[in-house]
Copies of this chain bind each other. A is one copy, B any other.
Amino acid sequence: MSSQPICAVRNAALLDDFQQTRALTFALAAPLSDADATVQSMEDASPSKWHMAHTSWFFETFILRDHVAGYQPFDENFAFLFNSYYEAEGERHDRCQRGMITRPSLDEVRAYRAHVDSAITAHFDALPDDALTLLELGVHHEQQHQELFQTDILHLLSRNPLKPALWPTPRRLHNAATAPLRWIEGKSGIVDLGHDGGSFAYDCEGPRHQMLLTPHALASRCVTNGEWKEFLAAGGYDEPRHWLSDGWAWVQGNNIRAPLYWTQDGDWAQFGNDGMQPIDDAAPVCHVSLYEADAFASWAGARLPTEPEWESAAAALDAHSGNQLDAAGAIRPAPARTSAKAGDGLAQMFGDVWEWTGSAFRPYPGFKPAEGAVGEYNGKFMSGQFVLKGGSCATPRGHVRACYRNFFYPHQRWQYTGVRLAKDI
């Protein structure tokens, strides 16, 4: 039997993914002004317009330029402006100067996106297999940028003393009780980890390999805002013994007193993409650095999970479940269900907040970087960063997997990052 029909199905799904992903980015940008979309609020963040153009540049370069004869680029200058870290693709605009690009405008970038989308759709059926592979990569690449798009614009708006809300505040139930924390024993002995090759994954998620786990347990849910207030009340940010040495220097050098976006004016509130809102004690703490996560765990007499522990526990769960991003709008991590019975397992593993692990982002046994420009992808970032797992409320549903490896430096916290405790047993 021919594989043709199967491929056709797969391809139709890919085109659909492409179109839905492109549409979601469009929707995320709906409430932005030209100015909102242009400013770079810190070196770690990029302008919205840049995310929108860079993801389009990816498709234009690796699909249209390389695989569609006679394709005319939308603008010859965009390759220089919107390349990011693909050194092999030639010179590129200095990362920390991205906020200087007031032109092209947001509308021109929207037109650029439409141009690329039309061209991809028009030529889709004629694309060779390796172009389709790159197209699939491009969709995942754009999903990654959708999360950064949201965290970066949030950071920018947080710097405005007016604290503008990007989206209307949804009706919330703030009377949720905090689910009790239980310890769920994990597997020990040899476990199989990493991507098994059956579907899309980034290079760094493989190869499939084995690890040996020692007896341990994971907390049934994430650390809550209410628990974090206890840490604050106990002087957690004043006591060096809880902190990694680099973390303590970071606390003192930056006068860190609470999670990012927390403001105290009487009660605590936290800025989000629906503006400044009261802290929900039952919801997971969000926007904490690895340093804070580690200090909290140390104070609580526990530790962070290792990546293998986390991944092993998550492998059996549905990665498409939980509080993840389905559509543009207000997002916040949500409380774990309190109806949980003793027999229930791990809550909030996918969605809500990225969970810091205690594992450095380093290659798996047998890892080989992919060849060529696209292959610059992940291996080069394997120093100084820690792995985060599970996705957040800003992660497009469908993007994350148990073996997905997100990574950030230990001081970074503008992502939707939180904490799950672990312990040896």
Contact = CB atoms under 8 A, between A and B. Distances in A.
Interface of A: 33-39, 41, 77, 80-81, 85, 87-88, 93, 97, 99-103, 105-106, 156-157, 159-162, 164, 190, 209-212, 214, 240-241, 243-248, 290-291, 294, 303, 358-360, 362-363, 365-366, 376, 380-384, 386, 410, 424
Nearest to A361: B360
Given A103-B162, A103-B164, A245 B38 contact: no
Given A85-B245, A212-B210, A380-B245, A105 B35 contact: yes
A37 B41 CA distance: 16
Given A100-B160, A160-B100, A365 B424 contact: yes
A199 B384 CA distance: 32
A102 B383 contact: no
Nearest to A153: B102
* Chain copies in the assembled complex: 4
Contacts of A410: 383-384
A100 B39 contact: yes
A288 B100 CA distance: 23
A244 B361 CA distance: 12
Contacts of A243: 380
Contacts of A35: 34-35, 37-39, 102-103, 105-106
B214 A366 contact: yes
Given A41-B100, A81-B162, A101-B161, 4 more contacts: A39-B99, A244-B381, A360-B362, A366-B424
A211 B243 CA distance: 28
